[in-house]
Amino acid sequence: MAKSIDVSDLDIYYGDFLAVQGVNMTIKARSVTAFIGPSGCGKSTVLRSLNRMHEVIPGARVEGKVVVDGQSLYGAGVDPVAVRRQIGMVFQRPNPFPTMSIYDNVLAGNKLNAKRMKKSEADSIVERSLKGANLWNEVKDRLNKPGMSLSGGQQQRLCIARAIAVEPQVLLMDEPCSALDPISTAAIEDLIHELKSDYTIVIVTHNMQQAARVSDDTGFFNLKATGEPGHLVEFNPTSKMFTQPDEESTEAYISGRFG
């Protein structure tokens, strides 16, 4: 499991509007890569283009190459559904399926795809995924309660459990902690550390300390100017990024002197 991702000359459009321009980077396997930058600079857009979720928005399209394990995601004949099975995603706001129980939410990826499995197999997937998401002890006695009955932090961990239940190669996280309190955030950061050994993780965050805590590599995105497309300013190991960044503007942003 776990693959690296090579992005080259990626341009992302919403209709005619060029949102992000000329992104080049290599995301290493079995590591955590963080995207930071001001709001509206295209971090989430780049993240969504890594598992072809970008094109779900009408009129949205992508030019350039995203290569995972030697295969181009945007090549001819690539099935976006197959891509998303290999590259899972966790969203900013927890979004468990409201019609399903906790148990069914974890199995959603399997059940919605009508995969047949034995009860024991299903039980073991649920237990493994919930343990992987650090949620098992809190919910093991009420697996049949609705997923929406959990608190926000628990719902987010449920969504992570749901994402890892289908055993993807890569896990994309779009500001997974922005709606959570510090304790739930710490739980999820611990979880990211544990998941790193099995998954390639890409996380978008507004929290610089979080990027510094959890990530191995960091990409800093910014707008060239208001109304201009966003671009990748700098991509470096996190330790270098937060001590001696290559770019002036990175240092300004990280140290809070951002104008």
Partner 1 sequence: MSSTITPPGPRADRDSMPLTNPQLPALAPWLAGVIAFGLAALTGLLLGWGWVGTAVLGWLLLLVVLPVWSLLVEGERRAKDRFVTTLVWSAFGLAMIPLVALIYQVVSKGAAVLSAEFLTYSMRGILGEGGGIYHALIGTFIVTTCATIMSVPIGVMAAIYLVEYGKGKKLARWITFLVDVMTGIPSIVAGLFAFALFTLIFGPAIRFGFGGAVALSVLMIPIVVRATEEMLKLVPDELREASYALGVPKWRTIVKVVLPTALGGIVTGVTLAIARVAGETAPLLIIAGTTTSTNFNPFEGRMMTLPVFIYSSVTTGGKYAAENEARAWGAALVLVAIVMILNLVARVIGRVFAPKTGR
Which long-range contacts link 244-248 to residues 24+ away (Cβ below 8 Å)?
245/220, 247/220
Cβ at position 39, least distance to partner 1 in Å:
19
Beta bridge partners of residue 88, listed in sequence order: 171
Cβ at position 112, least distance to partner 1 in Å:
4
Of the candidates 112, 101, 89, the one whose C-alpha atom is nearest the C-alpha of residue 163 is 89
Residue number with CB closer to partner 1 (155 or 238):
155
Angle between helices 119-132 and 152-165 (to 10 degrees): 130
Residue number with CB closer to partner 1 (91 or 242):
91
Of the candidates 21, 6, 29, 32, the one whose C-alpha atom is nearest the C-alpha of residue 201 is 32
Answer yes or no whether residue 163 interacts with partner 1 by CB under 8 A: yes
> Beta strand 32-36 with 200-204: parallel, antiparallel or unpaired?
parallel
Residues written for the chain = 259
Residue number with CB closer to partner 1 (109 or 245):
109
Q: Which amino acid would we find at residue 225?
A: A
Q: Which of 73, 130, 135, 166 binds partner 1 (CB under 8 A)?
A: 166
Answer yes or no whether residue 145 interacts with partner 1 by CB under 8 A: yes
Question: CA geometry: angle at 60 spanning 201 and 225, to 5°?
Answer: 80
Q: Which of 24, 26, 71, 99 binds partner 1 (CB under 8 A)?
A: 99
> Beta strand 5-14 with 60-68: parallel, antiparallel or unpaired?
antiparallel
Q: Which of 24, 71, 149, 244 binds partner 1 (CB under 8 A)?
A: 149
Answer yes or no whether residue 91 interacts with partner 1 by CB under 8 A: yes
Residue number with CB closer to partner 1 (88 or 245):
88
Residue number with CB closer to partner 1 (157 or 162):
162
Answer yes or no whether residue 56 interacts with partner 1 by CB under 8 A: yes
| Per-residue H/E/C for 128-154 | HHHHHCCCHHHHCCCCCCEHHHCCHHH
Answer yes or no whether residue 180 interacts with partner 1 by CB under 8 A: no
Cβ at position 24, least distance to partner 1 in Å:
25
Residue number with CB closer to partner 1 (44 or 238):
44
* Residues in touch with partner 1 (CB under 8 A): 51, 53, 56, 58-59, 81-86, 88-89, 91, 93, 95-99, 108-109, 111-114, 145-146, 148-149, 159, 162-163, 166
